[in-house]
Amino acid sequence: MHTSNIEIRDLLISWLVLGFCFSLILFHSLSPSGFIIALIGLGVGFICHELSHKFVAQKLGFRAEFRLWQTGLIIALVCAFISMFSPIGFLFAAPGAVYILSYTSRREGGLISLAGPSANIILALIFYAIAIHSSGLTQQLIGKYGMLINLWLAVFNLLPIPPLDGSKIFAWKIPVWAMLMVISAGLLALYIFGMFGAI
């Protein structure tokens, strides 16, 4: 998989900023330990999400690279600081996107967009397994918040609003979009209402 120095830089900046934002929302503080836990859960989810887009795009014969969106990062920071003092947290998690450097059909665009949220759903289940099978508190917290972060990334990116992934999947095949949204939103709701047990 071909990557450039600019792409690696943009991925790292986006990862650090989003990790900081998630730590503010999840822990309502500037805790270094909270930042590290958020970085691990987000790092795996965010990097896999974006590289899944890139991998599928390149498999389909396209040149694709991630680029950060400065306005999106600023909005994320504002949301995080507001949520830090609010009982209900919300994060605008759109720090950038994988850009395809040529025209794609609806099917191609849908398949490329499908890869990111699908990766997050799979990772959420992996983090859940880590949470319930770990004996150490740190590992349990990484599993717990890694699951939450990845479910949030999946649901947010599946919103059928351009330029989010959901808009392209919706335009390609509504049943596929609906299935992914029901799965990810359903799992997120179960998490929020404590249906996964004491994790």
The catalytic residue positions are 50
For residues 136-163, b (16+ Cβ closer than 10 Å) or e, as one string?
eeeebbbbbbbbbbbbbbbbbbbebeee
| In contact, 24 and 51? CB cutoff 8 Å | no
Tell me the C-alpha to C-alpha distance, in Å, between residue 28 and each of 32, 72, 180, 198.
Answer: 12, 21, 30, 21
Cα within 13 Å of Cα(141), Cβ side: 14
